[in-house]
Amino acid sequence: MESVSSSLVPVPVVSVGRRATVAELSHDFRLANGRLARRLRQEKADNELSSSQFSALGTLYFHGPFTLRELSERERVTPPSMNRTVNALVEAGLVNRAGSVDDGRKVVLTVTDQGRTLMRETRKRRDAWLAQRIVKLTPDQRRVLTEAVDIMKELANS
């Protein structure tokens, strides 16, 4: 297994076409991944939400319910920052605050029906946008993409 030091010393890569080093491949991959993620973020059902608001809503939708502290830790932001984000989501009718049944001092955040609808619609739009592009790929490109998905999951989980 190759390793890349923090100084990104040019390490030859085997069979990557025009990219000669792991550093170049890393750079190109990061840029392409970022651009694709930005483009997919544009395919959402509500353009009024900021990226941080949408991310917090998505975290609650897929992994919640959470307390404010749990959500801020999951999103890697400070509790005061998350409180502002949650306030906007509550005001928009996308998130509810309720007292915990286990501990009345805790406030639990959950996604409302409106928030769930927004998340489902956004997921549908993003999947459709991507599917329209994937269907135009050659069978060999789709095979490579299938392999790349597994590799990306492995990188994300490392």
pLDDT band at 102; cut points 50, 70, 90: confident
Amino acid 125 reads: R
Say if residue 108 is in the same domain as residue 87: yes
Whether residue 98 lies inside any domain: the answer is yes
Decide if 14 is inside a domain: no
Assign residue 56 the CATH number of its domain.
1.10.10.10
Asked if 40 and 90 sit in the same domain, the reply is no
Whether pLDDT at 12 is above 80:
no
Q: How much is the mean pLDDT over the chain?
A: 87
| Residue 92, pLDDT score | 95
Q: Which domain holds residue 96?
A: 51-112
Residue 15 reports pLDDT greater than 60: no
Q: Does residue 27 lie within any of the structural domains? A: yes
Considering the domain architecture, whether residues 106 and 129 belong to the same structural domain is answered as: no
The domain tally of the chain equals: 2
Is 7 within a domain? no
For residue 99, what is the DSSP state? Answer: E
CB 141 within 8 A of CB 128: no
Q: Do 78 and 103 sit in the same domain of this protein?
A: yes
Say if CB 71 and CB 82 are below 8 A apart: yes
Question: 102 and 57 in one domain?
Answer: yes
Residues 97 and 71 in one domain: yes
- Is 146 contained in some domain? yes
Question: Do 141 and 126 reside in the same domain of the chain?
Answer: yes
Query: What's 93's DSSP letter?
Result: T
Interatomic CA distance for residues 91 and 141, integer angstroms? 45
Indicate the pTM of the whole model: 0.71
Q: Say if residue 34 is exposed, middle or buried (CB neighbours under 10 Å; 0-12, 13-18, 19+).
A: exposed
- Residue 78 lies inside a defined structural domain of this protein: yes
Residue 139 lies in a domain: yes
